[in-house]
Amino acid sequence: MLTVEERMEIAVLKKHGGSIHGIAKSLGVSRNTVRRYLREGEAAGVRKPGAKRAEKLDPFKDYIAGRMKAAAPNVIPAVVLLREIEARGYDGGYTRLKVFVRGLRPVAKPDPVVRFETDPGQQMQADWATVGRGGDKLSVFISTLGWSRAAYVEFCDNEQLETLLGCHENAFGYFSGVPHEILYDNMKTVVHERNAYGRDMHRFHPGFLDYARHAGFLPRLCRPYRAKTKGKVERFIGYLKRSFWIPFVASCRQAGLQPDKEAANAAVKIWLREVANARVHATIGEVPAERLVIEQTKLQELPKPYKGRIARSIVTAAQPRKVIGHQHPLSTYEALLGVAA
């Protein structure tokens, strides 16, 4: 008779190509028992708990456990233990030994996540993301204030320097101030060469650096291949796609409309105000919009208009576009665009 555990082990070993002879030897049962289970499946007899027959490995389990404990935190390979117990008289299979040893190995604990927190007004994190495909693909500028976790989002059709500076100006206006430093990854319009003049002495894009001086913030770069140092904005990108972009596109398709930059920007403003910045943030346990009121007192004043940038052309739509949202009725977005027009 087989226990539930033995039946499961037979099924797993067979699935991985084990032979009847090998499975029988590993479990310490007869080949006929294995054949009967493989033939009859769940209809085969089941041994009640407590009736399990002795295994060939049983006399050696204390020895194996002692060896594993003595080697901790390192692990003695099962093949080494096999040689040792064979020298002590073990004539059973290797698979059963591997299963037993696997159960003795300590479960690896994930590295603790170290939260990198900054003071109010000290830091903003910024990055580009992309959404959509082919001709419908858009770039998304995302910025998050480090202390309050308040976020600003803007959809764009390119990632040129002029566009990037405009997004910064809009973000500062949205937050009603300028942080003391902004953390970036590897934007080509921000940095030309890392460590060009020595460790942590980077060669920044001259046009971007000129704007940074004008606005009064210090550009910082996160460590290479360590995107977690810019984790606040990285996590928000995933949240934006799940909570806003995917539902927004689906709603547009249902209404027979094409999601574009103008429609997305009109809709995302309301999403930021009523959803993203109004929710209780999972990490800080508070509402970003409420913390923003405090952080605004620590931000620098908005700079004067920047004259070093080429004036951007302003395109005014002849007719307001219909905008579909996920968390709000269509009339809300139509009213918003109507006011803007």
- Looking only at the bridges linking them, the beta strands covering 181-184 and 123-131 are parallel
The domain limits of the chain are 1-53, 55-106, 123-178+227-340
All residues at 6 or more sequence positions from 73 whose CB lies less than 8 Å from its CB, including other chains = 106
**Cβ(263)–Cβ(336) below 8 Å:** no
Q: Could you tell me which CATH class the domain 1-53 is placed in?
A: mainly alpha
Number of neighbouring beta carbons within 10 Å of residue 236: 21
Residue type, 319: Q
Q: Which helix (H) or strand (E) holds 84?
A: helix 78-86
Taking the C-alpha atoms of residue 306 and residue 210, their distance in angstroms, rounded to an integer, is 10
- Statement: the pTM of the whole predicted model exceeds 0.85: no
Digit-by-digit pLDDT tens for the chain (341 residues) are: 566 667 777 877 787 788 888 888 877 788 888 888 888 765 555 554 455 567 889 999 999 999 888 888 778 888 889 989 999 999 988 988 988 988 887 665 554 444 567 789 999 999 999 998 877 899 999 999 999 999 999 999 999 999 999 999 999 999 999 999 999 988 889 888 887 767 767 888 989 989 999 999 999 888 664 444 445 567 888 889 888 998 888 888 888 888 889 999 999 999 999 999 999 988 888 999 999 999 999 999 999 888 875 444 333 333 445 545 455 455 545 544 444 43
Q: Where are the extended beta strands (E) located within the chain?
A: 123-131, 138-145, 151-156, 181-184, 191-193, 203-204, 218-221
The sign one gets for the Cα dihedral 157, 163, 166, 171 is positive
Taking the C-alpha atoms of residue 263 and residue 248, their distance in angstroms, rounded to an integer, is 10
